[in-house]
Chains A and B, each alone.
Chain A
Amino acid sequence: MEILMSVVIGILFMVATYLILTKSLLRIVIGTGIISHAVHLLILTMAGVKTGSPPLLGEEAALYTDPLPQALILTAIVISFGVTGFFCVLAYRAYKELGTDDMDQLRGNEHE
């Protein structure tokens, strides 16, 4: 199972990196979204995805899954959501002010 997940994570990283290297600001925003998905899955996979009950003690199971990575990922999801939200507005503002979403034209050194 972990092997399969590792391959999936690798592909997600690859796609995200490719998107981040492109010129369009839109694709870059999307790339960052995908890279955060990949990271979340990576944290989960590295902790091991052994089967067991969800970490709810009412289940009274013999074996629970590891609760700590879940807590970490929950924090990470919220933070990356905050950053993505800000990034979207930033892209929107940049486009409104500068009239382009092409990263090649968004070089800041025209006045040097």
Chain B
Amino acid sequence: MAWLQLVILSPFILAIFIPFLYKYVRQIHTGWFVLILPVLLFSYLIQFLPVVSNGETVQHTVEWIPSLNINFTAYVDGLGLLFALLITGIGSLVVLYSIYYLSKEKEALNSFYVYLLMFMGAMLGVVLSDNLIVLYVFWELTSLASFLLIAYWYQREKSRYGAQKSMLITVFGGFAMFAGIILLYLMTGTYSIREIIAQVGTISTHELFLPAMLLILLGAFTKSAQFPFHIWLPDAMEAPTPVSAYLHSATMVKAGIYLVARLSPIFAGQAEWFWLVAGFGIVTLFWGSFSAVKQTDLKSILAFSTVSQLGLIMCLLGLGSAAVHFGYSKENAIYTTATLAAIFHLINHATFKGALFMVVGIVDHETGTRDIRKLGGLMSLMPITFTLAIIGTFSMAGLPPFNGFLSKELFFTGVLNASQLDIFNMQTWGMIFPVLAWAASVFTFIYSMVLVFKTFTGKYQPEKLDKKPHEAPIGMLIPPIILASLVVIFGIFPNLLSYTLIEPAMASILPSLLAPEQQFYVNIYHWHGWTTELFMTMGVIAVGTILYFTLTRWSGIYNKFPKRLALNHFYDHGLISMERVANKITRFHMTGFMRDYLVYIFAFLIVLLGGGLFTLNAFSFGQGQVAPIGVYEVILALVMVCAAVAVPFAESRLTAILLVGVVGFSVALFFVIFRAPDLALTQLIVETVSTALFLLCFYHLPKLRKEISRVPFKATNFLISLGVGVVMMLIAFSAIDNRLFVPISEYFLEASYKEAGGRNVVNVILVDFRGFDTMLEILVLGIAALAVFSMIKLRLARREDFENQ
């Protein structure tokens, strides 16, 4: 096993030891032990930077299920490394933060860190796997870990609701993605992403190509909370804040983004891919930022903001895929700008959103509430937190000199370029991208300002707060300080990232554009002249400021939105009505009446056997050899039929029993006529004993009443029994005419005396040739006898129990 595999598996290994550390080293917060691992992993992974920025990749394979082409292949390229660094880097900071956030005495730290490590390992597995099945395994593990972490405070009902909702939605998408992976395998015969990309030319016209694309996108959209699957993310905010910061802003929700970026070399260049990814992205961007403004809970604002920023990145990935059409040279680099912007914003979002979640966690921790209506005036009480919040929100709103400004400018460049495209019907529909993007940016500006100014400025309302607020402990402040410094550093020196991380990641997303030894040209700078983008940003700030100050006047429009059309309403009612319909269907056919079930069974028998005879043309009549009919048989048959038909009409139990006896004894007589002496003997005895048994047993049962039921009821019964009778009769007819080969009876007749020394062939068969049947038949009789015995005896035993009670 290579080091790379160990990197992925190490969190799982450490997770095994966490409960022991928690139990036996009580005086030290368990988080300190956990903290070592992500820091080590981060420093190990950072060694790959020079390798990857030279355009090289690293790959190690460990065989897992070679017979099914499933191997544990770890693969490091620009994109994988970028994500792995985010996961371990932010993971370290979140663990450090959680040490101060979660109390050693009150919380179940062992389960928290086990889930968190499980998540970290699964996420590393997702981004570093080359094999799609392995990727899927880790993908589902992230869903599971997220489920466990959201429901960390499982005593709260809302936590359980949020966990269930996220589980249902992400697992639904994950399952669709699994189907998509299998379709890809059917087309290419391999699960390796490398090898699939090598076959792109041959599969893009395959009929399964489009279904595979749709299913995989469904997986990516549910995981990355794209419209309309974003509804699970706001409810996932019931998780502890470190979890929200880590999973629901920086890493897990980017798994879908990762998947889209990773599979871009396969699907990019298709109009469907361009429109689905970019279209869903831009709608999510707008809807998320629009909905964020009406929230009053700080974490809900951040949740919708995450939804909207994820939409932004998704949209850019979609727009960037158009570059495959145009090829690449340094002069037409504008087509790849969107991809560049996506990667850059991905990094920026992870930094500022992580910091903001931690800031909100601090506010919650120090004041006891996250409701902006209760907060205000914390600026002088929590100056460091306030500074961090300013940096984070201004970056989120896209203001200079922070990194959000740069990626927002690049985003505008991307959408403006896209509206100029002359492919995929963009001439007619292209304008919606810049318009929606601009509107969404205005709302982003508004909620960013709400977030920081409603919390930290305005009137201080100590009477509404549970605790007396003060500045947070230094340990809790270090992680957001690091993230905020990164926001500033990347803002001022963006080109630190350009050829170390961004360019290699772009090369993994758009590999087909580069000739060998060629690189994408990446240069991000603050001042790029009086361009349209800059005017758009000015417009955002101007309109945003006006709307922020008039917020109370126009926020009424949110109440105008009909509740019945809300997506959560659809989800909740969908679940309820699904249960109700399932219940209804079950109640409808599972009536509890034995007779109904028998009707189903008999009807099925008639339809299947009768239909089978009919469709297979198996029915035949009167062509086979038949024996002549004698007069005795006719008389006997008449007697038997008359007796049988009279049974249902019998009105006393004695008559019924006698009639059944007549049928049984006629059967015995038939055996005589058909030359079966042993059968006749047995039948006579058994019939006698049965009749006696009936008489004995029915003596204790109530009198046979006349069937009092409605006529249609009887008519259906009659029809069904008629059907059964006819079908069985037809089968008997067909059996006469379809004798396929000679019976083996000649052998029994010949060997009976020679080999077994008996002249009664039937008896020799019973005890000699096929003695095994007889043994088990004796067993059946024995069991029946024991069962009868215990049925009668056990009753007495229970009676006594009752009396004793």
Q: Which residues of A contact B (CB under 8 A)?
A: 1-27, 29-30, 33-34, 37-38, 40-42, 44-58, 64-68, 70-71, 73-75, 77-79, 81-86, 88-93, 95-97, 101, 103-104, 106-109
Bound state CA distance, A3 and B629, in angstroms?
9
Bound state CA distance, A65 and B647, in angstroms?
33
Q: Of the candidates A23, A26, A38, which one forms a contact with B698 in the assembled complex, judged by CB atoms under 8 Å apart?
A: A26
How distant is A9 from chain B, measured CB to nearest CB, in Å? 6
Q: Which residues of B contact A (CB under 8 A)?
A: 592-595, 598-599, 602, 622, 624-630, 633-634, 637, 640-641, 644-645, 647-648, 653, 656-657, 660, 663-664, 667, 670-671, 674-679, 682-683, 686, 689-690, 693-694, 697-698, 700-702, 704-705, 707, 709, 717-718, 720-722, 724-726, 728-729, 732-733, 735-736, 739, 743-745, 748-749, 752-753, 759-762, 765-766, 770, 773-774, 777, 780-781, 783-785, 787-788, 791-792, 795
Report yes or no: A14 in contact with B777, Cβ–Cβ below 8 A: no
Residues of chain B within 8 A (CB-CB) of A6 are 729, 732-733, 736
Residues of chain A within 8 A (CB-CB) of B594 are 103, 106
Given contacts A14-B721, A103-B593, A107-B593, contact A50 B627 (CB under 8 A): yes
Report yes or no: B697 in contact with A18, Cβ–Cβ below 8 A: no
Q: Of the candidates B765, B777, B795, which one forms a contact with A67 in the assembled complex, judged by CB atoms under 8 Å apart?
A: B765
How distant is B489 from chain A, measured CB to nearest CB, in Å? 66
Bound state CA distance, A24 and B706, in angstroms?
9
Report yes or no: A37 in contact with B667, Cβ–Cβ below 8 A: yes
Bound state CA distance, A7 and B744, in angstroms?
27
Bound state CA distance, A48 and B790, in angstroms?
42
25 sampled A-B residue pairs with Cβ under 8 A: A1-B633, A2-B732, A2-B736, A6-B729, A12-B641, A13-B728, A20-B598, A26-B653, A26-B698, A44-B670, A50-B625, A51-B675, A65-B674, A65-B676, A67-B745, A70-B676, A70-B678, A70-B762, A71-B770, A77-B683, A82-B785, A84-B690, A88-B693, A89-B792, A106-B594
Report yes or no: B694 in contact with A88, Cβ–Cβ below 8 A: yes
Residues of chain B within 8 A (CB-CB) of A41 are 667, 670
State the 9 A-B residue pairs at the shortest beta-carbon distance, nearest first.
A10-B729, A14-B725, A17-B721, A82-B784, A6-B732, A18-B721, A1-B627, A55-B761, A57-B759
Report yes or no: A68 in contact with B743, Cβ–Cβ below 8 A: yes
Residues of chain B within 8 A (CB-CB) of A96 are 700, 795
How distant is A72 from chain B, measured CB to nearest CB, in Å? 8
Nearest to B729 among chain A residues (CB) is A10
Residues of chain A within 8 A (CB-CB) of B745 are 64, 66-68
Report yes or no: B759 in contact with A44, Cβ–Cβ below 8 A: no
Residues of chain B within 8 A (CB-CB) of A51 are 627, 675
Bound state CA distance, A82 and B675, in angstroms?
25
How distant is B475 from chain A, measured CB to nearest CB, in Å? 56
Report yes or no: A15 in contact with B761, Cβ–Cβ below 8 A: no
Residues of chain A within 8 A (CB-CB) of B759 are 56-58
Which of B676, B702, B726 has the largest count of A CB atoms less than 10 A from its CB?
B676
Nearest to B752 among chain A residues (CB) is A57
Report yes or no: B787 in contact with A107, Cβ–Cβ below 8 A: no
Report yes or no: B686 in contact with A65, Cβ–Cβ below 8 A: no
Residues of chain B within 8 A (CB-CB) of A13 are 721, 724-725, 728-729
Residues of chain B within 8 A (CB-CB) of A88 are 693-694, 697
Residues of chain B within 8 A (CB-CB) of A56 are 677, 759-761
How distant is B591 from chain A, measured CB to nearest CB, in Å? 8
Residues of chain A within 8 A (CB-CB) of B718 are 18
Residues of chain B within 8 A (CB-CB) of A22 are 595, 648, 707, 717
Nearest to A66 among chain B residues (CB) is B745
Report yes or no: B629 in contact with A74, Cβ–Cβ below 8 A: no
Report yes or no: A86 in contact with B787, Cβ–Cβ below 8 A: yes
Bound state CA distance, A40 and B657, in angstroms?
20
Nearest to B696 among chain A residues (CB) is A88
Q: Of the candidates A21, A33, A40, which one forms a contact with B720 in the assembled complex, judged by CB atoms under 8 Å apart?
A: A21
Residues of chain B within 8 A (CB-CB) of A67 are 745, 748-749, 761-762, 765
Q: Of the candidates B667, B702, B717, which one forms a contact with A40 in the assembled complex, judged by CB atoms under 8 Å apart?
A: B667
Which of A20, A71, A95 has the largest count of B CB atoms less than 10 A from its CB?
A71
